Amino acid sequence: MDKENFNVIILGIIFNPKEKKILIGKRENGSEGSWEFPGGKAIHREDVDKTLKRHSKAKTGYVVKNLGTFFSENSSEKDDLILIYFLTEVFEGEEKPGDDFVELKWIHPKELGDYLTTSAHKKLKEYLTDLV
């Protein structure tokens, strides 16, 4: 029996409860609308919380507190890609785009459609909109 391999992407939705906004980043070498949530590929045998915090810190400059997973999906663009979303808050650090992000922006969840290059799943948008 063939084993199927999947790539797992861990994404952190960094939420500011005071401002009711979430943080997105613009990718290097991206088109005008290439905004995404901070995250990256899971590494085999690395703790998921560690993966989430490592990618968040590298891309945003922030150390985040993981509030838990709230959504996962198979990518609509690639059959072998699974996306897992975690709600996080800033714990400490200074905002600084890094890794493949060249710009960061705090937006209201209702603005997601104006920035994301791929359409966000309906349930994901509903959850984020309900945060505010």
Q: In this predicted structure, what is the pLDDT of residue 114?
A: 87
H-helix or E-strand spanning residue 57? helix 48-60
- Residue 5's Cβ-count burial label (10 Å; 0-12, 13-18, 19+) is exposed
CA distance 78 to 75: 5
The pTM is what? 0.89
Confidence of residue 16 (pLDDT cuts 50, 70, 90): very high
Q: State pLDDT tens for residues 38-70.
A: 999 999 899 999 999 999 999 999 999 999 999
Contact by Cβ (8 Å): 52, 59: no
More confident residue, 115 or 91: 91
H-helix or E-strand spanning residue 12? strand 7-16
Supply the mean pLDDT for the chain: 89
- Residue 4, CB half-sphere, CA atoms under 13 Å: how many? 6
Q: Domains (ranges, CATH) in the chain?
A: 7-131 (3.90.79.10)
Is the pLDDT confidence value at 96 over 80? yes
> What is the rounded average pLDDT of the residues 98-126?
87
Is the pLDDT confidence value at 3 over 70? no
CA distance 16 to 109: 11
